[in-house]
Structure 1
Amino acid sequence: MASVEIEIDSRKYAVACRDGEEPHLRSVAAIVDRKARDAAGALGGLGESRQLLYAALLLADELKERREGGGGPVEAAPDPAVAQALERLAERMEALASTLEAAPHNT
């Protein structure tokens, strides 16, 4: 099992992946990074979980449009594995955001 450090909107994350999948993980992380920056630029000062939630929603929206034949901007070669990984990421980010929003806030 390999470990890759990725960066999403200037935040670094250590992510495990199978050996040999490091370039693929870096590639999809770059897409998520662009979407996270788009979300932050469009919506202003978001917390980390909200910013990643909106990035995931932007990616899911783009994926849905492509599946329905709507096209849209192409950021990477259409690869079913990438699309599935992005869909799983969007689902996990939505679940994480829901969990964080439901948790009591420590002030």
Structure 2
Amino acid sequence: MSQVSVTIAGKNYSLACADGEESQVRKLASLIDGKLANFGDNLSPSPAQNLLFAALLLADELEEAKSRQGTAQSASPTNGDSNALDELRLELHAMKAERDALAKELGRLRDAAPIAAQAGRDEAAETLEDLADWLEKHAEVLEGKAAAS
């Protein structure tokens, strides 16, 4: 068993997982963190309630995707293609969540930086913007691959 540390909604969690599954656990945690980031200021004071709500929304998205896949299953030639598409979708969701989290952090940094100190933070903000652009570009590529499959 391995230990993996993840951060969701600003809180650190240490989780046990099977050896070799650390990156998948981090990716899934990123999806949850992204879902919570989309709540903005609408979070409950209870972290457990927030996590439950995020889990319910993700479960709903999964059910909708399964339903769409079920109607399009006749167009899907092989299970291998379906698995590859599922992996692309997971990657895309993780990248979108990461992009959204970076955009939120960038906004927070901009709001927190006093005007006099802003000049020193422009380089960091530019780096974060470049990273957000990079993530968005790759997300679009994955969306294109997913749409083509």
TM over 0.5: yes
- The question of 1:8 aligning with 2:16 is answered no
Aligned residues: 73
Q: 1:78 aligns with which of 83, 86, 96?
A: 86
Quote the sequence identity (%). Answer: 37
Cα root mean square deviation, aligned: 2.0
The higher radius of gyration belongs to: 2
Structure 2: gaps of 5 or more residues: 70-84, 91-149
Q: TM-score, normalised by structure 2?
A: 0.44
1:12-91 superposed matches below 5 A:
12-39=12-39, 41=40, 43-69=42-68, 78-79=86-87
- Report the Cα offset of residue 42 of structure 1: 6.0
Deviations 1:27-52 (A, max 9, x none): 1111011112223x162443101100
1:48–1:21 Cα change, 3 Å? same
Select the structure that is richer in helix. 2
TM-score (norm 1): 0.60
CA distance in 2: counterparts of 1:33 and 1:64, whole angstroms: 20
Q: Deviations over 1:2-41 (max 9, x none)?
A: 00000101100000011111111111111011112223x1
Deviations 1:74-102 (A, max 9, x none): xxx624xx7xxxxxxxxxxxxxxxxxxxx
Structure 1: tracts of 5 or more residues without a match:
71-76, 83-107
State the 4+ residue runs in structure 1 displaced beyond 6 angstroms: none
